[in-house]
Amino acid sequence: MVSTTKEGSKGPSFKILGALIAITAAVLVTVLITRPAAKTTSFTPLSGLMTLKVMAAEAMPYADAIASPNPTFIEFYADWCTTCQGMSSTVATLHQQYGGNINFVMLDIDDPQWATQVSNYGASGVPQFTLIDAQHNEIKTWVGKVPKSILASVFDQLLG
């Protein structure tokens, strides 16, 4: 029951109910304002490492790329490299876009079988991206995080 005072005003139960409604509305507004956007994808080290592993497994073997008449994009990487993990989705997107015209090769700097290539291409930091033409001439080398637009621009120029 609703209690009223002699003058017909609302009693304490309506004040409490009003306060609860106000608090609930404030909480709801706060949650709606501060929640992440529904389409936002979160990057986690595990997802980056998984993408890196999948890309390495699907990459063209180095010997096949060198024998190919296409230019080759070599990524020197390491599983423990968080920048390599962070760049994995960018490189995967570029591979989908340019993979028909450019060979994508991934060489793990911690794997002893690539020591000669690491030395020959001067891979002193990871990730290192080296683009070579069909005659094995080095066109461009980047070290660290590189925006997709920069890589795509050089690919477009190379392919004419």
Which residues are designated catalytic?
A: 81, 84
CA 144, 147, 148, 152 dihedral sign is: negative
DSSP sequence for 118-131: HHHTT--SSSEEEE
What are the angstrom distances between the C-alpha of 150 and each of 2, 78, 84, 145?
A: 69, 22, 17, 11
At position 7, the amino acid (one-letter code) is: E
How many other CB atoms are found less than 10 A from the CB of residue 3?
9
3-state helix, strand, coil in the chain (%, to 5): 50, 15, 35
Residue 118 in contact with residue 60, Cβ under 8 Å? no
